[in-house]
């Protein structure tokens, strides 16, 4: 197990500096330096259209904004927890760990050739720290409600000042720029509303600014995203042979559900595919053995860096009955006892998944509380808890009702096109119906589903949602935006206020843990957070699938097998990917 690198905890740091440009380590690819060739386009899949082209507003997996958020000051490689300078040329930490000075590289460029400047990083900071823009980065810029500050100190230099010690100091410096001349100027003239009106999905791609290896040239809704090589990325990104990156001329994202993506891969029309379960792997393996496709498939490279869970809406002012049901801990614990993980693992993932019981992704085992309270599938226990919640009688149709004859009836939504989530919602709904709880499973467009989940106020437009989060920090995987009551992703309760004492305590522990530099002490705080959340049961965790990968043999440059993994590590780095 890799131990966390947190130098702020132990000693003052000297300057960390690397020469221009950034050199992508040979250890991150199976292809030796100097052997990769330029050219070619790869095709890969995505489940849905992007919600936005605006990087500050992005809060979900989004291929477009990924290419706008590439030029982070610091980064972590796939083979280590160490934070290294990326768009930064150097960074220096003060003796007390409260000030970090950063110098950016000289040759940073946007996809249109304009320089990426410290003003662009400052504009991103300003937008992210205005609550009105709705950035999911907002909460990360505050420690105990005191804002981390960023100031420009020179033509290529900036200073980050922290109000107290912060486990996430280096993570904070994984900070991306936005074009000040576009988004910054819009903010100065029209505020958050003007910024949020820019770069919707109807925007001509030629108007967009990218800092990643590729830039968008075409978007056909429901069909594809078309990318070409960013000609300015190589000015500050090279491999160990000094070759400017990326190698590929471009890529195409085909927008299709999982079944369609599998068929496209089998037809040779997708180069990269993530098998969803062992059934997919079996089908691909047979096609390879029969000579139908020239590809490689790798099973079980690790646990996914993601979660899948059910969340109930505590903010339903227009339906006080259902709101009170969702706020009842006995009800939520009962529902968790109806999550049949064994059935989900077998029926949905063909056995290639793991039970998940807390908010920590299973690819971060150091932080997982193995002794956390768990809720095994137990319909009888669920009935006992529902009786405590006041639902012990039956109506004429066999549904559980309270003393006034009201039954529990709600809709559980997930994103259409994700066959695994659709199956999970149906398994849960069937098990709930079997004991007398009226649950209807439905599938919605992903953008609509996310909009509903991210809505705020006292009357939000959904009842229950099954969705997932991905990513997660390796230094402290307990995000302010998810676990604090005012957090942007505090999904079950976005009223802005804690509604229970346990919520309040979790919020306090999240802040305390973030400021605890001793990793073992922080880990114990993390364990307590997981236990408290398990007892409160606001979010019902289901399973974490294993990660599999399949790719056409014409595509090379993947990670060595020993460092492949789930998000955020992944299977390959796009700048190092090439055609054989």
For residue 346, the number of C-alpha atoms closer than 13 Å in the C-beta half-sphere is 4
136 is written with which tokens?
A: 């999911």
Q: Is the pLDDT of residue 153 over 70?
A: yes
Contact 116, 109 (CB under 8 A): yes
249 is written with which tokens?
A: 């001329």
Distance, in Å, from the CA atom of 415 to the CA atom of 514, rounded to the nearest integer, reads 33
pLDDT at 57: 84
Q: Is the pLDDT of residue 357 over 50?
A: yes
φ, ψ of residue 22 in degrees (nearest 5): -75, 130
pLDDT tens figures, 293-321: 999 999 999 888 888 999 999 999 999 99
Percent of the chain scoring above 70 in pLDDT? 96
Task: Kindly state the average pLDDT of the residues 367-381.
Answer: 97
Contact 436, 399 (CB under 8 A): yes
In total, the chain counts a number of residues equal to 580
Distance, in Å, from the CA atom of 385 to the CA atom of 388, rounded to the nearest integer, reads 5
pLDDT tens figures, 75-107: 999 999 899 999 999 999 999 999 999 999 999
Three-state SS at 92: strand
Distance, in Å, from the CA atom of 504 to the CA atom of 456, rounded to the nearest integer, reads 19
Assessment of whether the complete model's pTM goes beyond 0.85 = yes
Prior bond of 568 cis (ω within 30°): yes
Distance, in Å, from the CA atom of 574 to the CA atom of 557, rounded to the nearest integer, reads 8
> Could you give the angle at the alpha carbon of 341 between the alpha carbons of 336 and 342, nearest 5°?
145
For residue 123, the number of C-alpha atoms closer than 13 Å in the C-beta half-sphere is 22
> Could you give the angle at the alpha carbon of 563 between the alpha carbons of 543 and 363, nearest 5°?
25
Ordered structural domains, the chain, with CATH: 7-201 (3.90.76.10), 209-303 (3.40.190.10), 306-545 (3.10.105.10)
Distance, in Å, from the CA atom of 90 to the CA atom of 19, rounded to the nearest integer, reads 9
Contact 437, 386 (CB under 8 A): yes
Distance, in Å, from the CA atom of 264 to the CA atom of 247, rounded to the nearest integer, reads 24
Q: Map tokens 């039956």 to a residue.
A: 394
For residue 295, the number of C-alpha atoms closer than 13 Å in the C-beta half-sphere is 28
């Amino acid at each position: 197990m890799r131990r966390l690198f947190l130098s702020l905890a132990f000693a003052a740091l000297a300057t960390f500096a690397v020469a221009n440009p950034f050199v992508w380590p040979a250890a991150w690819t199976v292809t030796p330096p100097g052997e990769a060739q330029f050219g070619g386009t790869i095709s890969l899949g995505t489940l849905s259209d992007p919600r936005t082209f605006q990087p500050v507003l992005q809060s979900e997996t989004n291929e477009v904004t990924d290419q706008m958020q590439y030029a982070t000051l610091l980064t972590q490689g796939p083979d280590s927890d160490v934070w290294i300078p990326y768009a930064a040329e150097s960074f220096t930490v003060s003796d007390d760990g409260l000030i970090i000075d950063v110098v950016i590289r000289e040759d940073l460029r946007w996809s249109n050739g304009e320089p990426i400047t410290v003003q662009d990083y400052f504009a991103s900071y300003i937008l992210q720290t205005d609550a009105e823009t709705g950035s999911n980065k907002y909460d990360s810029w505050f420690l105990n409600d005191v804002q981390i500050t960023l100031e420009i100190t020179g033509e290529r230099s900036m200073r980050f000042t922290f109000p107290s010690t912060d486990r996430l100091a280096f993570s904070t410096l994984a900070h991306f720029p936005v074009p000040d001349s576009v988004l910054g100027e819009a903010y100065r003239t029209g505020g958050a509303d003007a910024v949020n009106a820019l770069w919707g999905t109807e925007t001509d791609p030629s108007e967009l600014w990218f800092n990643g290896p590729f830039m968008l040239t075409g978007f056909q809704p429901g069909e594809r995203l078309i990318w070409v090589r960013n000609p300015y990325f190589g000015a500050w990104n090279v491999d160990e042979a000094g070759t400017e990156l990326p190698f590929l001329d471009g890529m195409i994202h085909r927008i299709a559900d999982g079944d369609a993506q599998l068929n496209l891969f089998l037809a040779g029309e997708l180069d990269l595919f993530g098998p969803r379960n062992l059934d997919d792997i079996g089908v691909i393996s047979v096609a390879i053995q029969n000579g139908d496709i020239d590809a490689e498939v790798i099973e079980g490279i690790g646990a996914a860096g993601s979660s899948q869970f059910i969340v109930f809406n505590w903010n339903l002012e227009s339906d006080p009955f259902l709101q009170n049901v969702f706020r009842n801990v006995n009800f939520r614990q009962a529902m968790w006892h109806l999550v049949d993980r064994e059935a989900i693992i077998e029926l949905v993932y063909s056995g290639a998944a793991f039970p998940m019981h807390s908010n920590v992704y299973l690819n971060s085992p150091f932080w997982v509380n193995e002794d956390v309270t768990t809720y095994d599938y137990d319909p009888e226990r669920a009935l006992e808890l529902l009786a405590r919640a006041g639902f012990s009688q039956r109506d004429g149709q066999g549904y559980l009702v309270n003393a006034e004859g009201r039954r529990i009836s709600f809709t559980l939504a997930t994103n259409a096109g994700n066959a695994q989530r659709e199956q999970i919602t149906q398994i849960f709904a069937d098990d709930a119906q079997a004991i007398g709880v009226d649950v209807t499973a439905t599938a919605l467009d992903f953008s609509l589903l996310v909009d509903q989940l991210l809505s705020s106020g006292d009357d939000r437009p959904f009842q229950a949602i099954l969705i997932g989060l991905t990513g997660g920090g390796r230094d402290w995987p307990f995000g302010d935006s998810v676990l604090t009551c005012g957090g942007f992703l505090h999904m079950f309760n976005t009223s802005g206020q804690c509604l229970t004492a346990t919520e309040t305590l979790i919020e306090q522990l999240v802040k305390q843990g973030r400021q605890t530099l001793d990793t073992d002490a922080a880990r114990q705080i993390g364990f307590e957070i997981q236990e408290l959340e398990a007892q409160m049961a606001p979010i019902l965790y289901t399973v974490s699938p294993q990660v599999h990968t399949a790719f056409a043999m014409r595509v090379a440059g993947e990670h060595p097998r020993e460092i492949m993994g789930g998000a955020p590590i992944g299977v390959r780095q796009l700048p190092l990917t090439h055609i054989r």
